[in-house]
Structure 1
Amino acid sequence: MTGDLAPQKRALRAELRERRRNLTRDERAAAAAGITEHLIALTRQVGARSVSCYLSATDEPDTRPFVNWARDAGIRVLFPITRTDGLLDWTTATDDEEEVTGLAGTPEPVGELLGPIAINDVDLIVVPAASVDRSGMRLGWGRGYYDKTLGSMERCPPVYGVLFDSELVDEVPRERHDQAIDGVVTPTRTVEFSTRSARRRRI
């Protein structure tokens, strides 16, 4: 990370975290319902039989109802497991996940570890994000796990970030290693970014 962008990214992440903490219980519940509806529709649109998704933390948009639906629908769900080398292992969703706090400070299920290449078998990737701009550039939380994962994939399926509506912005700070995504799912809509989608179709 360059010296110029590091403070800018830290300040933006701090602001976004504070906004999320200030949401009311009713606002969170309404957001979760909308996000679940749009993630289900996206999964059906893609025809995904296997997806990767993360377990949301308390302040994040709630992905857990979607995970429960996918599992009940017979869709294979892979969860990311953080590693000390900056890569991600994966584990498969079960009926009763035991959770621990991962290296990034977020919830992770306990299960049989699959290596980093397991992500190559999914049809849809759902990623966390602090903010995403209208070109599809994603601002993560500073650990770089997803940038490394997405940047290493030869054939990447559709990648969608999950956000609150106000976190889709005109521009986010970007560096050379930052990875664009195909779209975002918010409580009110699903937005696809044509630039990365066109590039992915050419791979």
Structure 2
Amino acid sequence: MVPSQMPSQADTPGPGPGAAAAKLALRDQLLTRRHRRPVAEVGTEARLLAGHLLDAAEVRRAATVAAYVSIGAEPGTGLLLEQLLEQGRHVLLPVLLPDGDLDWAPYHGEGSLVPARRGLLEPAATPLGPEAVARADAVLVPGLAVAPDGVRLGRGGGSYDRALARVPVGTFTCVLLYDDEVGLDVPREPHDRPVTAVASPAGVRRFGGAGVTG
């Protein structure tokens, strides 16, 4: 994992307006970096991500996996979703609600996706309700960075913080990132929900001393 040159943890703003401003600045920096990634690199790293996650014990044991459809320069999930289906997993994908919360619906393949707000792709199947994510055995979420203790930086809408709040303690919750987005000093606020692991092209790292695979 390659840490970026960021302020030390001691200098990271705590809860409050300072943390919100610091998050905004960090998001801008990370999004700019993502937009500069070559398309070929994004595709290569998506294949590595899929391999690491499918090899992870928590995903191998999972009957139901909550995931998402990547867009733009996000770490790619298309191959991962198809391989989860091929292995017989029940895959749930988010459906963005008008208030920014997430509902969840079954994924039945790439042809079952329809365009949605904010440039997203969502499953056309009937949604199962926001609480459906609580029944997933593994939850894979997007992000822009993660701190060494699992605090995740999202895009600022709070959708996944609300979803993660519904997931039972002990569930495998994993953010998908590039290597240089792992181990950063992420400003934190009271509503932030940490994840238990991160997957990047270098492997899967579990927080709490469980080590790295891949």
CA RMSD of aligned residues (A): 1.9
Question: Where does structure 1 lack aligned partners over 5 or more consecutive residues?
Answer: 198-203
Task: Say whether 1:7 aligns with 2:12.
Answer: no
Could you list the per-position Cα deviations for residues 128-157 of structure 1 after superposition, in whole angstroms to 9, with x for gaps in the alignment? Answer: 011001111101110101111212344451
Question: Where does structure 2 lack aligned partners over 5 or more consecutive residues?
Answer: 1-14
Structure 1 residues 112, 43: CA separation in 2 closer, same or farther (over 3 Å shift)? farther
The answer on whether the counterparts of 2:62 and 2:138 sit within 8 Å (CA) in structure 1 is yes
Q: How does 1:108-127 map to 2 (within 5 A)?
A: 108-127=122-141
Q: Choose from 92, 96, 99 the match for 2:114.
A: 99
Q: Which has the higher contact order (CA 8 A, sep 6+)?
A: 2
- Count residues with an aligned counterpart: 195
The answer on whether the counterparts of 2:131 and 2:166 sit within 8 Å (CA) in structure 1 is no
Output the amino acid matched with 1:108: E
Q: How does 1:48-87 map to 2 (within 5 A)?
A: 48-87=62-101
Equivalent residue, structure 2, for 1:129: 143
Offset at residue 11 of structure 1 (A): 1.2
Could you state the TM-score of these two structures normalised by the residue count of structure 1? 0.89
Equivalent residue, structure 1, for 2:156: 142
Output the amino acid matched with 2:144: A
SS at match of 2:74: coil
Structure 1 residues 149, 110: CA separation in 2 closer, same or farther (over 3 Å shift)? same
Equivalent residue, structure 2, for 1:163: 177
Could you list the per-position Cα deviations for residues 70-98 of structure 1 after superposition, in whole angstroms to 9, with x for gaps in the alignment? Answer: 11111000001111233211110113223
Offset at residue 17 of structure 1 (A): 0.8
Determine the C-alpha separation between the residues in 1 that align with 2:51 and 2:99: 35
Output the amino acid matched with 1:48: A
Structure 1 residues 108, 45: CA separation in 2 closer, same or farther (over 3 Å shift)? closer
SS at match of 2:17: coil
The answer on whether the counterparts of 2:59 and 2:65 sit within 8 Å (CA) in structure 1 is no
Offset at residue 168 of structure 1 (A): 0.5
Determine the C-alpha separation between the residues in 1 that align with 2:97 and 2:170: 21
